[in-house]
Amino acid sequence: MRTAEIKRTTKETDITVILNVDGSGKTDIDTGIGFFDHMLTALGVHAGMDLTVKCKGDLYVDGHHSVEDVGICIGKAIAEALGDRSGIARYGSAYVPMDEALSFCALDISGRPFLSYKAELTDFRCGEFDTCLTEEFWRAFAMNSGITLHIREEYGKNDHHIIEAMFKAVAHALKTAMAVTGGGVLSTKGVL
């Protein structure tokens, strides 16, 4: 079973992430930031992963430490759950619409972390979530999961819709890339 549990405690955050890649999309999310909880729920549900996230962070400062550190923990959990990455599809991509917005994701579970993020968000916040933290989350996620991650807003007007379409696009691309295909590592090198 492809599972992981990551705990991270700093002076800024105390986080537990429990992940089952082969779950049914069951989520239990509590970061103290409602919109972020909504996005992480979408990530788990649409990727078909069971995902538990408990975060107590220094929200009296702002949401930055909580969002970034949760990205670190979820990224590490995916890396641990997938192990040497043998027997998976490795690549995934998805376009996801949400009302007037359309977002795209392409990713490679390569062991070579990289983030290309292109979005023009115009609102400072969605609820209590600073929209600039969207990129921070994905950077922390990519660097700690070892995933080459490309995310792009194709178009949209409502930042809630744009960001949610991004999370769902990543989720669907992840679901495809993490699918079990059997065999060894999908690489001409034989290792990732």
190, part of any domain: no
Tell whether 110 is covered by a domain. yes
Does residue 141 lie within any of the structural domains?
A: yes
* 184 within a domain of the structure (yes/no): no
CA nearest 52: which of 2, 113, 7, 105? Answer: 7
Residue 155 belongs to a domain: yes
Q: What's the whole-model pTM score?
A: 0.96
Per-residue pLDDT band for 188 (boundaries 50, 70, 90) equals low
Asked if the structure places residue 78 within a domain, the reply is yes
Return the percentage of the chain with pLDDT > 90, whole number: 93
Number of domains forming the structure of the chain: 1
pLDDT at 183: 82
pLDDT digits (tens, 9 = 90+) for 42-83: 999 999 999 999 999 999 999 999 999 999 999 999 999 999
Mind listing the pLDDT tens digit for each residue in 129-167?
A: 999 999 999 999 999 999 999 999 999 999 999 999 999
- What is the domain-level CATH number for residue 15? 3.30.230.40
Kindly tell me if the per-residue pLDDT of 191 is higher than 80.
no
pLDDT digits 0-9 by tens, 103-127: 999 999 999 999 999 999 999 999 9
Output the pLDDT for position 156: 98
**CB neighbours of residue 186 within 10 Å:** 18
Domain for residue 188, yes or no? Answer: no
Domain containing 155 equals: 3-178
Give the list of residues 6+ apart from residue 127 with CB closer than 8 angstroms, or none. 33, 34, 35
Q: Is residue 150 assigned to a domain?
A: yes
Give the model's pLDDT for residue 186: 72
What percent of the chain shows pLDDT beyond 70? 97
